[in-house]
């Protein structure tokens, strides 16, 4: 169970207290529309997301990682925007670049210090994928997407059709 003792409230009404029910709500058409309307995911990308694979991957993580992923996805982490809202900080600025620090800013900060941290993380992830014998086309695509994300580039700008073949194998 991903969310022990969790419940979902919407409009002052308790919708669910079961983790399985919550997953169903999150992955429903209404849940997808929520993320599109919040401008968290472009509508055209929804059909390309392998929701079952995401579920399998999440279920394979320890609780602490699941919690991190959930908080990151909804933007509720100890970053400037939240720290100011929670009255823990008097400002919401990134200490490296001075822009408002929200969850996505952690990935997209233009400061050289942030880029070094991100590049090292991508390099370590690439090494792990090699040790897990990940198909080279998939590995290259994922790492390039992560590098582009950090640089606030278009993720699909380097798309290679061989990735479809690698995924299907």
Which CA distances in Å does 143 have to 59, 88, 114? 23, 35, 17
Radius of gyration of the chain (CA): 18
Query: What is the reported pLDDT for 161?
Result: 55
Calpha distance 110→121 (Å, rounded): 16
Query: What is the reported pLDDT for 87?
Result: 93
Rounded to 10 degrees, what is the CA torsion of 126, 158, 106, 64? -50
Query: What is the reported pLDDT for 157?
Result: 44
Query: What is the reported pLDDT for 42?
Result: 79
Query: What is the reported pLDDT for 37?
Result: 83
Calpha distance 118→112 (Å, rounded): 10
Query: What is the reported pLDDT for 111?
Result: 92
Among 134, 6, 125, 130, smallest CA distance to 66 is for: 6
Query: What is the reported pLDDT for 131?
Result: 95
Domain ranges of the chain: 1-74, 111-169
Query: What is the reported pLDDT for 2?
Result: 44
Binned average pLDDT, 10 residues per bin, the chain of 169 residues: 56 66 72 78 78 83 85 84 91 91 86 92 95 91 86 52 56
């Amino acid at each position: 169970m991903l969310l022990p003792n969790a419940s979902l409230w919407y409009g002052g009404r308790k919708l669910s207290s079961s983790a399985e029910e919550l997953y169903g709500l999150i992955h429903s058409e209404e849940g997808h529309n929520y993320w599109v309307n919040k401008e968290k995911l472009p509508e055209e990308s929804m059909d390309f997301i392998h929701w079952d694979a995401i579920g399998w991957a999440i279920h394979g993580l320890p609780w602490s990682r699941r919690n991190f992923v959930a908080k990151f996805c909804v933007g509720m982490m100890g970053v400037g925007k939240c720290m100011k809202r929670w009255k823990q900080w008097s400002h919401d600025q990134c200490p490296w670049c001075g822009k408002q620090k929200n969850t996505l800013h952690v990935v997209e900060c233009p400061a050289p210090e942030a880029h070094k941290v991100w590049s090292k993380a991508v390099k370590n992830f690439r090494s792990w994928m090699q040790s897990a014998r990940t198909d080279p086309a998939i590995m290259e695509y994922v790492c390039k997407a992560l590098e582009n994300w950090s640089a606030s580039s278009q993720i699909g700008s380097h798309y290679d059709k061989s990735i479809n073949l690698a995924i299907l194998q």
